[in-house]
Structures are given as structure tokens and as C-alpha cells.
């Protein structure tokens, strides 16, 4: 559901937890894109639309449009002479916006493993193994957001906090909790900083840290303050997001309306 721009021109997408899911807010040049990703087990379509409408930063510019999806993946994304890429191969959910990355990774993998006329099953199996593993890493990262979240304001969150989760994710949570160790597995899509942000952001705080001391760790508070001051000084010399867009890539009104 698009709404009028609030004029604040934030240079990032905001995701906000709601009782039955989460809401996105994507600021564009001439309007804001909004959506509510919800589980229909916990709210109906009218309730979801009302929630979204009540949480817009500007006047609604259209009726809400409902998209339905079933999460999951194909048992074999490469089967005989057909390779499923993109939505035809499966879908998780859009919280971490991974679909386009996975499409690109699939194309590159297919080019690297392109078959000859013999269609060697070993090549197909290896392609499928990597595709599965990659999707499972995304799955674990997504579930971490839901499972570790301790909100009590909706049945969905209570369910997610107590649901069973994959062993691979349990191990990642435990390693981080005990020793601040970030487990990186084969075909990991998310970098260490992303895992760190979600583990700490969802308050899975470590009890200890087994990293070897760094040279600057003797006075980390002063070191961080110096780093912060340097970043502020550099950032204050740069144009704002709005100034940059206005002088370099301002969208024409008609173009912005059709593409936003
Ligand atoms: C609002 C929104 C925001 C999104 N934001 C992000 C994001 O930030 N990052 C990200 O990674 N992903 C995002 N996605 C997801 C991403 O856009 C999709 O996963 C991706 O476009 C899927 O590409 P695809 O080629 O698999 O399918 P599609 O883009 O759906 O293409 C399928 C095509 O097949 C055509 N088709 C269907 N049936 C037939 C038929 N029988 N015969 C011939 N043609 C047919 C359709 O018309 C369509 O053109 C977003 C999706 C939505 C809806």
C-alpha cells in the first residue's frame, strides 16, 4: 500500500514488528512503499489491512493489494533438463530480501556447472546440494529473528519463541550465547556482521568471549570513542542523502510514479 512521502527522506528501509508479522516501509523519492507480511493463522486480511492503514507515515495513495505465498522449496531444483530459478524454485519470506541474491547466485552456479548433452547426474546432484544448503542458511538466519524475539504482544510471537528450530540454528545460538562465537557454515549467505547484528539485536547476549585480545582492547572505550569521532567528522563533510539525490539522480515525476 503506497502512501504519500513524509518528507523526512530516510535513506533506509525500516522493518517494524507487528502482532502477526512485520511491516516494511521503503522511502522512495515521491512516495513511501509499505507492506505488512503477516501469518493468516493470526490475523485475517481485513485486520492486516487495518493495521497497515493505521501505521502509515502519510496519506494512503491506493487500496492495499494482497499477495499470498506458501513458504518452501522444490525437492529438486534441477530435475532432468529443467532448472528452477527464482520463485519457481521456492520462497521463504521477504524479511531479509534474499530472493534476488539467490536468483543471481543460481544463475552463476548454473553457468559454472552447465551440463553437456550427457546431463551427468553427479553435476545435477551437486547443484541441488549447494542450492539446498544456501537456502537453509537463509532459513536459519530468518528464523533467528522470529525465534529469539521475546515480544509478548501477539500469539505469533509466543508461538515462534517456543517452536522447534533446526539443529544448525540451535548450535549457532548456543555458540554465540556461550562464547560470542559466530558459526559460519558452508554456502553462508550472510556475513558475520549480519549474524552479530541479529544475535545482539534479539538480545542473545554472550556470557563470555573467547576471541584473542586485540591490540586496541586495552582501552576499548577510548578506542571506540575515537572511532566514533572520526566517523562523525567524515560524515559531516558529506552531502545528505537528499542533497545527493537532488544533485545527481533526481527522478522525473512521471517516471517515479510508474516505477515506485
Ligand atoms: C513488493 C515486493 C518487494 C520485493 N522486494 C524485494 C527485495 O527488496 N529484494 C529481493 O531480493 N526480492 C524482493 N522481492 C522478491 C522478488 O521481486 C521476486 O522474488 C523475484 O522478482 C522473482 O523473480 P522470478 O523471475 O522468479 O518471478 P517473477 O518475477 O514473478 O517472474 C515470473 C514471470 O513469469 C510470468 N508467467 C507466469 N505464469 C506464466 C505462464 N503460464 N506462461 C508464461 N509466463 C508466465 C509472469 O508474468 C512473470 O513475468 C520483492 C517482491 C515484492 C512483491
Residue of minimum CA distance from atom 36 in ligand 1: 88
The pLDDT value given to residue 192: 95
> Is residue 94 lining ligand 1, measured as CB closer than 6 Å?
yes
Longest Cα pair distance anywhere in the chain, in angstroms? 63
**Alpha carbon of 193 to those of 122, 126, 189, 197, 199: distances in Å?**
35, 29, 12, 6, 10
Alpha-carbon distance 132 to 176, whole Å? 24
Contacts of 148 (CB under 8 A, 6+ apart): 161, 173, 198, 199, 202, 203, 204
87 alpha carbon – ligand 1 mean position (Å): 6
DSSP string over 81-100: TEE--GGGTEE--GGG--HH
15 alpha carbon – ligand 1 mean position (Å): 21
In the structure grid, which three cell numbers stand for residue 181, read together? Answer: 562465537
Q: Tens digit of pLDDT per residue, the chain (260 long)?
A: 999 987 777 889 999 999 999 999 999 988 999 999 999 999 999 999 999 999 999 999 999 999 999 999 999 999 999 999 999 999 999 999 999 999 999 999 999 999 999 999 999 999 999 999 999 999 999 999 999 998 888 999 999 999 999 999 999 999 999 999 999 999 999 999 999 999 999 999 999 987 666 655 667 788 889 999 999 999 999 999 889 988 999 888 655 555 44
Residue of minimum CA distance from atom 23 in ligand 1: 86
Atom of ligand 1 nearest to the CA of 91: 19
> Is residue 107 lining ligand 1, measured as CB closer than 6 Å?
no
pTM, to two decimals: 0.90
Atom of ligand 1 nearest to the CA of 102: 11
20 alpha carbon – ligand 1 mean position (Å): 24
100 alpha carbon – ligand 1 mean position (Å): 9
99 alpha carbon – ligand 1 mean position (Å): 9
Atom of ligand 1 nearest to the CA of 13: 8
The pLDDT value given to residue 212: 63
pLDDT tens by residue, 203-246 = 999 999 876 666 556 677 888 899 999 999 999 999 998 899 88
Q: Is 36 exposed, middle or buried (0-12, 13-18, 19+ CB in 10 A)?
A: buried
Amino acid at each position: 500500500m503506497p502512501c504519500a512521502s513524509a518528507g523526512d527522506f530516510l535513506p533506509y528501509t525500516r522493518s517494524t514488528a507487528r502482532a502477526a508479522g512485520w511491516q516494511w516501509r521503503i522511502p522512495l523519492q515521491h512516495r513511501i512503499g509499505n507492506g505488512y507480511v503477516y501469518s493468516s493463522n493470526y490475523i485475517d486480511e481485513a485486520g492486516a489491512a487495518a493495521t497497515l492503514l493505521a501505521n502509515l507515515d502519510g496519506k494512503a495513495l491506493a487500496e492495499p493489494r494482497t499477495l499470498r505465498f506458501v513458504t518452501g522449496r522444490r525437492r529438486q531444483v534441477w530435475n532432468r533438463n529443467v532448472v528452477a530459478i527464482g520463485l519457481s524454485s521456492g520462497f521463504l519470506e521477504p524479511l531479509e530480501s534474499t530472493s534476488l541474491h539467490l536468483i543471481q547466485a543460481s544463475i552463476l552456479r548454473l553457468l559454472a556447472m552447465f551440463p553437456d548433452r550427457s546431463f551427468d547426474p553427479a553435476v545435477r546432484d551437486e547443484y541441488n546440494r549447494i542450492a539446498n544448503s544456501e537456502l537453509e542458511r537463509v532459513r536459519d538466519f530468518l528464523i533467528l529473528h522470529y525465534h529469539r524475539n521475546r515480544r509478548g504482544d501477539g500469539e505469533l510471537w509466543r508461538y515462534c519463541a517456543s517452536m522447534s528450530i533446526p539443529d544448525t540454528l540451535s548450535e549457532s545460538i548456543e555458540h554465540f550465547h556461550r562464547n560470542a562465537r559466530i558459526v559460519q557454515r558452508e554456502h553462508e549467505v550472510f556475513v558475520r556482521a549480519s549474524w552479530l547484528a541479529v544475535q545482539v539485536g534479539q538480545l542473545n547476549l554472550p556470557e563470555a568471549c573467547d576471541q584473542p585480545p586485540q591490540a586496541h582492547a586495552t582501552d576499548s572505550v577510548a578506542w571506540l570513542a575515537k572511532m566514533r569521532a572520526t566517523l562523525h567528522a567524515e560524515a559531516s563533510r558529506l552531502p545528505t542523502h537528499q542533497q545527493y539525490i537532488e544533485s545527481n539522480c533526481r527522478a522525473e515525476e512521471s517516471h517515479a510514479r510508474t516505477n515506485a
